[in-house]
Amino acid sequence: MHSPEAQMKLPRDLDGIELAKRLQRYGYDIVHQTGSHLILKTAQNGEHTVSVLNHKPLKVGTLNSFLNEVAEHIGLEKQVVIERLLSRR
């Protein structure tokens, strides 16, 4: 478990398309777009479909909720997902 002091803060400038690109690390791909929603799907750990708003930037609460859902699906703590998605590697 991570200590609260070491937790990475959610970015305030991440947009939906950038998040979708970063989610490719977990096998998510954009399958289509409906209005301002990007629909992403992965087959890793079973099929999972999510909808990401293509807003600039994503609101922190929206991003937080989305990351909770992804973390639960892939079986990792949300903080680990955040660190991996936001690292420059």
Query: Is 76 within the bounds of a domain?
Result: yes
Query: Is 2 within the bounds of a domain?
Result: no
Torsion of CA 50, 61, 80, 23, to 10 degrees: 30
Confidence of residue 80 (pLDDT cuts 50, 70, 90): very high
pTM reported for the whole predicted model? 0.83
Q: Select from 87, 42, 30, 33 the least CA-distant residue to 69.
A: 42
Query: Is 6 within the bounds of a domain?
Result: no
Per-residue pLDDT of 38-76, as tens digits, reads 999 999 999 999 999 998 999 999 999 999 999 999 999
Query: Is 26 within the bounds of a domain?
Result: yes
Q: Select from 71, 65, 62, 37 the least CA-distant residue to 51.
A: 37
CATH number for the domain harbouring residue 70: 3.30.920.30
